[in-house]
Structure 1
Amino acid sequence: RVHGKGSKIRFLPLHPVAADRIYAYLELDVKRAGGPGPLFRSMRGTTTGAGITANGLYTIVAQWARVAGIEVERLGVHGLRATAATNALEHDA
């Protein structure tokens, strides 16, 4: 279940490998309270239980891109989503 634009709730398919990784991530997050809440929370801890901001997500993507040796100016989440969609279409996913 995903909260989309305009507070619309959508149900999206999830690849089994992605589901396994998310469950593992949730098990390692010992500070997470049970029940509903944002999947990705703020890393700074200033707002307990608050979801990560768009800028925070951009920063994480940029940091991991640098670690991976990817040097694309202004690489962001939208570009990754577009790349994943193109890759899926090209491989009949």
Structure 2
Amino acid sequence: MTNRRDGTLYCGVTSDLSRRAWQHREGLIEGFTKQYGLKRLVWYEHCPDIRDAIQREKTMKHWPRAWKVRLIHRMNPEWDDLYETLNR
């Protein structure tokens, strides 16, 4: 999640991405995303096992920002909000 192109980044894990992204967009989740107005879903990755997803999140939170930005640019070079594409 981010607030704008090249803005603040948030990385999280969920079992229901569409629901969780909606909650962030509506400001229903207290904490970092609400404080910084992070409402734009610009990257996501599917993991078949929640344990793998949790480990991936922990790993990514230790990455330098540049690595995360590269992932976003590979999947979504324009930093479009991908929320609308989730339920197609």
TM-score, with structure 2 as normaliser: 0.27
Greater RCO structure (CA 8 Å; 6+ sep): 2
TM-score, with structure 1 as normaliser: 0.26
